[in-house]
Amino acid sequence: MKSPPLLDGREQRRGYDSLYLKEMQIGQEGSATPKKTHLSEDDPLCALNELAKIISDVPMNVHWDSTTFGREAQIPLYLHHQDVRELALGREEINITLIQLWMMYMFDVSNKKGFNDVYGFIDPSMTHERNKFDDIQTYITTCFGMGKEIYFLPYILGCH
């Protein structure tokens, strides 16, 4: 069995910057053509603030690999101004959109390190309490059936 990819803090931060901040593919909601946006690679907080300004009027449609969460789906992921501000300030709980964005980053890191057949990611929006229990159970069972290692992390509202 392969070990999980180990990244030191600098590689992890720079990887995140390069993948999601430096050249984030964005498209405004309703826009057909995404464009690449170049943000600061050396200062993540500055990049987040710059990103918040870019999407202050209209949410950003983040284009992502539809197989990230083990299912072929073309579900749009919209990043809102408030999401980015909350992340930059570090005072609010991280919402599902930001968790999905982080998981997409980890999916890409895992694939680039050659672990695409080892690790699986569960979409937090699919296991949300608003969904039917049977649908959640079917989704999780399908994810485990893929034969990949899956780690659950608790998300407890009000405890972060």
95 lies in some domain? yes
Predicted confidence (pLDDT) per residue in 85-95, tens digit? 888 777 777 77
In a domain, 158, yes or no: no
pLDDT single digits (tens) 4-58: 333 333 333 344 434 444 344 445 555 545 556 666 667 777 777 788 888 888 8
Whose CA is closest to 72, among 119, 142, 147?
142
Q: What range defines the domain where residue 86 resides?
A: 9-115
Residue 63: inside a domain, yes or no? yes
How many structural domains comprise the chain?
A: 1
Task: Determine contact, residues 117/96, Cβ cutoff 8 Å.
Answer: no
Is 121 among the domain residues?
no
What stretches of the chain adopt beta strand conformation (E)? 23-28, 35-38, 60-62, 77-79
Share above pLDDT 70 across residues of the chain, in percent, rounded to a whole number: 62
Whose CA is closest to 79, among 121, 28, 38, 122? 28
Cβ–Cβ < 8 Å for 84, 112: no
